[in-house]
């Protein structure tokens, strides 16, 4: 399905029945990110996946301002309205997790539970944010100058994704093909407008976030496990699960464990077995 939201066309997929769960992919991802998981969830939940601005079949505008994370969060609210959904469980991975958290902070009335995989609330200081914006700008210029294929060659070999090399060849190829489908302008402007350095820091908002929140990180992803450990201490209704034998992309590296955790958390209304 396609919906026009404030002048931008968004691509949205809807699968299954039951409680609605909104699925927000990471940078260079799309609705395809969730296809292997949707087949396991759709009998129990209504899965709503969207291509985030600048990605997949959703528009990639030339205005960087349009990609700002609070603007995209407003789009998400309007998309749920279009779909007639008053409240949803919201799952976000990496960049999608930052968007999911932003959405929960700005529009908590729409969020039943929040699930953040390998995510952060942003950077704590303006100095850190400025440094990250400079790094993201260099990367954005690389994409514009060298094209998406050269960028993907570089991106898939960064340390953050080293554990993906353990996955079967066909799965690695599927991830690569998903990344290659994007446009240079969409990825570059996404980095500029929605990058970690561009978004507000939500660290101080965490103690006021009363929504039941599940944090999932892969044991081998030391950086994001450290961030999640800090986050869970600040969240009034936070739960942290560290998944063994997984790095940054838990939903692919330990798919069945990830699917079970998410489904249990949603169907139990924000509780896990043993809570």
pLDDT digits (tens, 9 = 90+) for 112-129: 999 999 999 999 999 999
pLDDT band for position 185 (50/70/90)? very high
In this prediction, residue 159 carries a pLDDT of 83
* Rounded mean pLDDT, 92-100: 98
In angstroms, rounded to a whole number, what is the distance separating the alpha carbons of residues 175 and 177? 6
Q: For residue 257, count CB atoms less than 10 angstroms from its CB and return exposed for 0-12, middle for 13-18, buried for 19 or more.
A: middle
Helix (H, G, I), strand (E, B) or coil at 3: strand
In this prediction, residue 228 carries a pLDDT of 98
Contact 216, 238 (CB under 8 A): no
Axis-axis angle for helices 148-155, 184-194 (nearest 10): 50
Q: How many CA atoms lie within 13 A of 200 on its CB side?
A: 14
* Higher pLDDT among residues 269 and 85, named by residue: 85
In angstroms, rounded to a whole number, what is the distance separating the alpha carbons of residues 69 and 74? 9
Run of H or E residues at 216: strand 213-218
pLDDT band for position 136 (50/70/90)? very high
- Please give the distance of CA 273 from its chain centroid, rounded to a whole number: 25
In this prediction, residue 271 carries a pLDDT of 74
Q: The tokens of 83 are what?
A: 């779909």
Q: Mention every residue, 6+ apart, whose C-beta is less than 8 A from residue 38.
A: 15, 16, 23, 47, 49
In angstroms, rounded to a whole number, what is the distance separating the alpha carbons of residues 72 and 5? 10
Compute CA distances 135 → 26, 141, 250, whole Å: 18, 10, 26
In this prediction, residue 273 carries a pLDDT of 60
Among residues 186, 252, 197, 245, which one has the least CA distance to residue 221? 245
Is 250 a residue whose pLDDT tops 90?
A: yes
* Higher pLDDT among residues 269 and 170, named by residue: 170
Is 135 a residue whose pLDDT tops 70?
A: yes
In this prediction, residue 268 carries a pLDDT of 87
Mean pLDDT of the chain: 95
In this prediction, residue 270 carries a pLDDT of 67
Residue pointed to by tokens 């969240």: 235
pLDDT digits (tens, 9 = 90+) for 207-236: 999 999 999 999 999 999 999 999 999 999
Run of H or E residues at 89: strand 88-93
In this prediction, residue 27 carries a pLDDT of 96
In this prediction, residue 163 carries a pLDDT of 87
Bridge partners of 20, per DSSP, are 46
- Please give the distance of CA 10 from its chain centroid, rounded to a whole number: 16
* Rounded mean pLDDT, 36-53: 95
């Amino acid at each position: 399905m396609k919906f026009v939201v404030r002048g931008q066309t968004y691509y949205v997929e809807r699968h299954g029945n039951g409680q609605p769960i909104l699925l927000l992919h990471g940078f260079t991802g799309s609705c395809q990110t969730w296809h292997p998981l949707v087949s396991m969830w759709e009998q129990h939940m209504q899965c709503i996946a969207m291509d985030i601005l600048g990605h997949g079949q959703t528009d990639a505008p030339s205005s960087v301002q349009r990609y700002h994370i609070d603007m995209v969060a407003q789009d998400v609210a309007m998309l749920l309205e279009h779909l007639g959904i008053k409240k949803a469980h919201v799952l976000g991975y990496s960049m999608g997790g930052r968007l999911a958290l932003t959405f929960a902070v700005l529009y908590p009335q729409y969020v039943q539970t929040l699930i953040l995989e390998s995510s952060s609330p942003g950077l704590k200081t303006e100095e850190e944010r400025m440094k990250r914006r400079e790094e993201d700008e260099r990367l954005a210029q690389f994409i514009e100058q060298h094209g998406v294929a050269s960028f993907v060659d570089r991106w898939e070999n960064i340390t953050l994704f080293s554990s993906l090399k353990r996955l079967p060849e066909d799965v690695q190829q599927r991830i690569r093909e998903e990344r290659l489908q994007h446009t240079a302008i969409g990825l570059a402007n996404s980095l500029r407008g929605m990058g970690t350095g561009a978004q507000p820091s939500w660290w101080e908002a965490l103690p006021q976030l009363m929504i039941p929140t599940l944090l999932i990180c892969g044991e081998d992803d030391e950086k994001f496990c450290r961030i999640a450990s800090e986050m869970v201490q600040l969240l009034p209704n936070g739960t942290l699960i560290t998944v063994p034998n997984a790095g940054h992309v838990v939903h692919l590296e330990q798919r069945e464990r990830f699917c079970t955790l998410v489904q249990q958390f949603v169907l139990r209304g924000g509780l896990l077995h043993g809570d």
